Structure 1
């Protein structure tokens, strides 16, 4: 069973698209023969990514998957992208499934790939362009969720909509650890292009709480690792974690998280972790605004608007209001049930493939 992922990561794009695709790939190869009656049928997931600064080729290969890099120079159009993608695979095409997670690709790319794949799945959250796909996943939460893709996908497209389909790593479905008071988790994704990690540390240094413990998580694409490491070395109450594989544990133990939107929302929700959120991209705002309205997080605004003093006050206010803290935790937890998520998406993919294979 041959599955292809077309997805990119970079210091500018961020790593969220790649992270959720890698989560899905790991879950697919662990599924029994991808729904085949012959349990000896192997499942192969291969990634096609552009060689942008901060690409994840080494991480993908360390996870056990092949990764073909497209040229780093600008790709002129989607037809050229499709031609390069096909050339990267050569004789291994046709594939059973193509999974696309890319804001720059739409129905033009899918239609160009149709002859080379049996099925197409698209992962999206913008709902701003047409897709030619058999399966569409949008794991975010919007007030108009049920109608967002009207006119953007065909009537036969199966739509998986909402955080019950969030692609979360296996660690988030394990038994939870006890939460610790006055423990703050800081994470703005793998790249943190605007260095909000440093801004948050400035805010934390203003706090009066002397018993505070802080965990800071940055990815391998974070550009200021050396400077941050030197700063943290002088602060015994701060622990720096670089590209860690135990995020669920840190979220379960923390009492508050400061971070951005994206998939992190659903990681927070499944662990019931109250969050103070600073959005870093336009596509994060609608979902974050809706979660803020529901009481599942505290949205301070977009990154250009935030100052350390403002963040300091928000942290102090949430720390000092146990009723609001508990309500936010419970509201968030109800949005992503432990029995849902990645497993449901894998089941949908297997059903699609079984339907094709009869």
Structure 2
């Protein structure tokens, strides 16, 4: 599978977009995907870093003149007009050879007009966003952040077919965080070590403010790790400040962030991508919003008890940071609560979930047999299955066995078991009538929320085309309250048709 990324970094936009795309690209490559990054060479770009990680990079030329786009507030970040960027991206994709299976777009300046132009070069488009301020022409949208009314945030901005992955369950974290999370020490709320990290660029030098606050004599016995990115414009100044404080250790462009977070008892940081890294590690945080788009997330996350929000960077002073440090270094119960809430919100498996959707495992379908009787009964009678089926009452073993005998002997029925690597994941039943079929599907309990449902349905359609070539239409009857099934069928290619969902096979 070939997957391309259109993403940028710069002094102004920071490194967070590249960071999460690199995390996803690494996970995809482990599953055998070929990756291609397309990035414009803005000042502060990370093209060399991406190549150092072993990914191909196609570089777009950055002009010296200042660009003023007007299609959205972040348009200047693109550096050129949308049409020009789209044409240049198409040319890079063509030069990379062949059609790409997915194009992943992580850029605040790109919207549906740009995405529509790329349709000819890619099979599907995935967008990573957290602004919800512009329409998209995409097949999948990921917003890993947390906001009030999250499910309605993109209403009217996406195609009906678009699958939405919302919330920190899908936070894209590097594998090191999952590994460190597995051996975390228990935090008792005492503060002996503080981590300071305000992102790869930290244009406003919040790190300098934090160091000023930590100069107070009351923090002289607290070990402080200060991390900056290689592109931080204040790097030399910060390094000089750190040398003047005996308890402070300076780090630049680290590869062991998870280790540093695991060692710390409290953090001072920005409200961007690292928010979810801190939560996954159970690290209590004092958060500063260093960009406008971080303010809503920071405010809502604080309301949910994930961390303490100090405010937007322009109003957060050295004195405010110092006072917050005084309060929370003496409030172990608050820090324990932040830690527990963060661990519960983020499990570190978001990248694996997304990879399973972009590159779903192959599902093998086999005909059911009498030996499947007890297993199918157990799956069908599970509470999670019965919750949304039209007859939710448990079925007795005798009634089920009689039904299975009839079904297997009925030429107008097909009963299939889906398996991944030899393990059952779900059941498909087709009632055949002329040139139409009625589908029924349910998953083995524990397989929900991994993209298995839509992949199972797609596999069933392929099976029908091969084994029942006379069929023209497959119908699905779904309860209106069963949102998960509606999404699975829509993602598998079904469209609403009156009161049912339907896929036309031919």
TM-score range, shorter chain: over 0.9
| 1:130 match: secondary structure | coil
Q: State the Cα deviation string for residues 60-116 of structure 1 (Å, max 9, x = none).
A: 000001111112124442121110112223341421110000000011111000011
Deviates more, 1:174-183 or 1:128-137: 174-183
Q: State the Cα deviation string for residues 37-75 of structure 1 (Å, max 9, x = none).
A: xxxxxx211111111000001100000011111121244
Deviation at residue 273 of structure 1 after TM alignment? 0.7
Which residues of 2 match residues 214-293 of structure 1 at below 5 A? Answer: 214-293=224-303
| Number of the residue aligned with 2:87 | 83
Which residues of 2 match residues 75-114 of structure 1 at below 5 A? Answer: 75-91=79-95, 92-114=97-119
Deviation at residue 227 of structure 1 after TM alignment? 2.2
User: Are 1:23 and 2:23 an aligned pair?
Assistant: yes
Q: State the Cα deviation string for residues 187-218 of structure 1 (Å, max 9, x = none).
A: 00000000111110000002513320000010
| 2:286 match: secondary structure | strand
Deviation at residue 232 of structure 1 after TM alignment? 1.6
Distance 1:209 1:77 in 2: 50
Q: 2:350 is matched with which residue: 306, 317, 341?
A: 341
Which residues of 2 match residues 135-174 of structure 1 at below 5 A? Answer: 135-174=140-179
| 1:68 match: secondary structure | strand
Deviation at residue 154 of structure 1 after TM alignment? 1.1
> Which structure's relative contact order is higher, taking Cα pairs within 8 Å and 6+ residues apart?
1
Q: 1:125 is matched with which residue: 122, 130, 136?
A: 130
Deviation at residue 182 of structure 1 after TM alignment? 1.6
Distance 2:115 2:211 in 1: 43
Distance 2:228 2:289 in 1: 16
| 1:84 match: secondary structure | helix
Contact kept, 8 Å, 2:3 with 2:100, in 1: the verdict is yes
User: Are 1:59 and 2:10 an aligned pair?
Assistant: no
Distance 1:207 1:133 in 2: 54
User: Are 1:205 and 2:209 an aligned pair?
Assistant: no
| Number of the residue aligned with 2:202 | 192
Larger Rg: 2
Deviation at residue 222 of structure 1 after TM alignment? 0.4
Q: State the Cα deviation string for residues 302-354 of structure 1 (Å, max 9, x = none).
A: 0110111110010111110111111111111111124x311111111113897
Distance 2:339 2:202 in 1: 25
Q: 2:336 is matched with which residue: 322, 326, 343?
A: 326
| Number of the residue aligned with 1:350 | 359
Q: State the Cα deviation string for residues 249-299 of structure 1 (Å, max 9, x = none).
A: 111111110001111111011111110011011110111101111111111
| Number of the residue aligned with 2:400 | none
CA gap of 1:207–1:157, structure 2 versus 1, over 3 A, is: farther
| 1:305 match: secondary structure | coil
Distance 1:230 1:259 in 2: 20
| 2:219 match: secondary structure | coil
TM-score scaled to structure 2, two decimals?
A: 0.66
Q: 2:183 is matched with which residue: 158, 173, 176?
A: 176
| Number of the residue aligned with 2:6 | 6
User: Are 1:45 and 2:49 an aligned pair?
Assistant: no
| 1:55 match: secondary structure | coil
| 1:141 match: secondary structure | coil
Contact kept, 8 Å, 1:141 with 1:287, in 2: the verdict is yes
Contact kept, 8 Å, 1:93 with 1:117, in 2: the verdict is no
